[in-house]
Structure 1
Amino acid sequence: MSAAKRKNSDSQPTENRVVYSEFGNQTNSAAFERAIQELPPNQQDLRVQASSKGRKGKTVTVITGFQAKPETLADLLKTLKTQCGAGGTVKENSIEIQGEHKQKLLEILKSMGYKVKISGG
């Protein structure tokens, strides 16, 4: 390969090259981020319920009603998993904890300042 070809191919890294972009520079655009209004714990109405639908009979405790950023939910999830001694995950502004921990989660979230109710049977 000639030196001119090598120099030309090395000067532009292929991973940063954009061939076509319809809406401009999306990588650093704040317009494409989801606007999430984060409310303080005392203004959030949460529901705690045990569910086993679609989980092959395994029970999980689902906490819904969060209005918080994903980082806040991740920190809260870690705390709740530690307190319950179980695994869990964050799914679309709700937290799922493995096992049935309705009463324990109700007490923990109330002590953190959230307004919480048990939902379902």
Structure 2
Amino acid sequence: MDLQDQLKNLFPDHTPDPEETKMEDVNAIWMQDDPIICKYEKRKGKPITILEGYTGADSDFKKLAKELKTKLSVGGSFKNDQIIIQGDYRDQIMKILMEKGFKVKRVGG
């Protein structure tokens, strides 16, 4: 039973508006021509992966950060127009971003 069937069971008299049925792609992220730079650094002796160079909206970059952290099951943050991922995940991140259609450039080793 999907969500629409559950809603029909809860609200049998409701008729949806045509505008309500239009679903925008919530995960749509603006693609850019310039590559996203994927760097590796060590801070306080611990490895981190830094993504920078995204020219779109901050909200899109935050969505991308959350998606990467969820897929990789790691911690991280979004600060100063950079995504900071805990650990060395350059290969996995580059693979995920290329599948989404981004151009990625590896920097630093």
Q: TM-score, normalized by length of structure 1?
A: 0.62
- Structure 1: give runs of 5+ residues left out of the alignment: 1-38
> In the alignment, what sits opposite 1:44?
34
Q: What CA distance in whole angstroms lies between the structure 2 residues aligned with 1:79 and 1:44?
A: 21
- Give the secondary structure class of the aligned counterpart of 1:118: strand
- Contact between 1:48 and 1:63, CA under 8 Å: does it hold in 2? yes
Equivalences for residues 61-76 of structure 1 within 5 A: 61-76=49-64
- Give the secondary structure class of the aligned counterpart of 1:43: coil
Q: CA deviation at 1:43?
A: 1.5
Q: Cα gap change, 1:40/1:73 in structure 2, threshold over 3 Å: closer, same or farther?
A: closer
Q: CA deviation at 1:42?
A: 4.2
C-alpha root-mean-square deviation of aligned residues, in Å? 1.5
> In the alignment, what sits opposite 1:79?
67
> In the alignment, what sits opposite 1:5?
none
Larger of the two Rg values belongs to structure: 1
- Structure 2: give runs of 5+ residues left out of the alignment: 1-28
Q: What CA distance in whole angstroms lies between the structure 2 residues aligned with 1:88 and 1:68?
A: 20
Q: TM-score, normalized by length of structure 2?
A: 0.69
Q: How many residues align?
A: 81
- Give the secondary structure class of the aligned counterpart of 2:50: strand
- Contact between 1:68 and 1:93, CA under 8 Å: does it hold in 2? no
> In the alignment, what sits opposite 2:14?
none
Q: CA deviation at 1:44?
A: 3.2
Percent identity reads: 32
